[in-house]
Amino acid sequence: MLKLLSKKIILFHFNKHCCKLTWSSIVGDISKIKNETKSRCFHTSRFSHQSLVLGIETSCDDTGAAIVDSEGNVIGEALHSQLQTHLAMGGIIPPIARDIHIQNISNIVETALKNANLEVKDLNAIAATVKPGMPLSLLVGTSFAKNLSKTWNIPFIPIHHMEAHALTARMVEKVDFPFLVLLVSGGHCLLAVVKNVDEFLLLGESIDCAPGEVLDKVARRLKLRNMPEFSTLSGGKAIELLAKQGDVTAFEYGNQPMHKYNDCSFSFCGLREKVHKHLEREEIKHNVEADQVLPSAADLCASFQHALFQHISRRLQRGMLYVDMKQMIPEGARKLVVSGGVACNNHFRKYLSIVCADMGYTLVCPPPKLCTDNGIMIAWNGMEKWTAGIGIAKDIDAIDSIDIEPRAKLGVDMTEDVRNMNISLKKKWIKLLPKKVNVSQ
């Protein structure tokens, strides 16, 4: 089997100030790799009229690689998830995530190429996530991809993780620029107007934690993993499924977060604290034991999920009103693209459908497989940039100059302008659910 780079190849040296990674030795001669791949007989004439881009994703806890062509076809892919490891540990531990990336990245890239029936030399470009994300994880994929590009003299395309999420829908559906995008995940929550492949106007983002992170922490606090049917699921998925059995009106959450701020910023830590208080009272009320799941867990999940999604929906509606007032997207061609791990939640999509229908938008949700982190979205973002001829590093100096940016922002910040518009929802707010309704209905 072709070994692009063995895990033995990589020796990591970290500077505590700049956290840069350098290659100190390469065991397993790369020139030998070239000779080995030359001897392999692949028939790639069917791709001769198409550009091919390899995408590599390691921004958090998934090691992904994929090859796509210029028509958006996935030629080959592979993905390794660390979910079960981190579930067992109660959360993502960055050094462990990094080590698992190192153990798997070579095999994942090899598998993607093998599934595509391609060699490295058949690629037009190699793309990798360089921002934002966990520094230790970003370093693995970025360094691997940069070294591969330099070794094979193939252009390198650095990718912004959130831009990739935003553009993924264009692979599977006709979505013309400009459009509105809502990215909701375990690391981010942001609303932006996408004007072009590399032009983003940020309307709002979370000022504290991310919704996916809060969902996972609430699920952990509820001890949902102790229920056999949820033991292997992410916290967000467990809450979604259990909420179907609950009543959204069972627990009150008071005023919406940031209800006094007429902008599109999000806040989720307050909701987390409120559900924790409900939990504490319920545990005392029912005298639950250490590993016991609350009998009211379904109602807690349903009401919390409703409060969280209602908050996002309110900020989204204000963003749509802002776009309308500024005439940023032509009427009749307005589309909302929703992506990120939380976007897989079907109940959330129902809320979004209501808002979109009322505001004159078409809702576009990529398949769940493309909403979570994967190599496909990185490859496609690379292909979009390759086709447009932007953001491409074509020589060694240009490739070497690219570094990771763990806390990179998205696009041009328009949040202050949104706030200055002082858009009120008091008379325009869309009612998402009638009172006393079960979310399974």
Domains of the chain with bracketed CATH: 55-168+369-409 (3.30.420.40), 175-365+412-421 (3.30.420.40)
Q: Is the pLDDT of residue 104 over 60?
A: yes
Strand duo 335-339 + 125-131: pairing: unpaired
- Rounded mean pLDDT of 8-12? 37
pLDDT band at 381; cut points 50, 70, 90: very high
The pLDDT of residue 329 is 97
With beta carbons less than 8 A apart as the criterion, state whether 311 and 263 touch: no
Confidence of residue 427 (pLDDT cuts 50, 70, 90): low
> In terms of pLDDT, which residue wins out, 259 or 150?
150
| pTM of structure | 0.86
Report the range of poorest mean pLDDT among 81-90, 137-146, 163-172.
Answer: 81-90
Average pLDDT for residues 144-167, to the nearest whole number?
A: 98
Burial of 72 (0-12, 13-18, 19+ CB in 10 A): middle
Coil vs helix vs strand at 127: strand
pLDDT score of 433: 58
**Per-residue pLDDT tens digits for 55-72:** 999 999 999 999 999 999
CB 211 within 8 A of CB 306: no
Token pair belonging to 304: 């919390």
CA 393 vs CA 28, 148, 389, 434: distances in Å: 26, 13, 10, 54
Tokens of 115: 């599934």
Which percentage of the chain shows pLDDT scores above 70? Answer: 86
Q: Which residue has the higher pLDDT, 53 or 424?
A: 53
341-to-189, 231, 234, 310, 338 alpha-carbon distances in Å = 11, 19, 10, 17, 10
pLDDT above 50 for 87? yes
Residue with tokens 């505001």: 359
How does pLDDT run across 229-271, given as a tens digit for each residue?
A: 999 999 999 999 999 999 999 999 988 899 899 999 999 999 9
pLDDT beyond 70 at 40: no
> Is the model's pLDDT at 362 over the cut of 60?
yes
Is pLDDT at 28 greater than 90 in this prediction? no
pLDDT of 49 reads 67
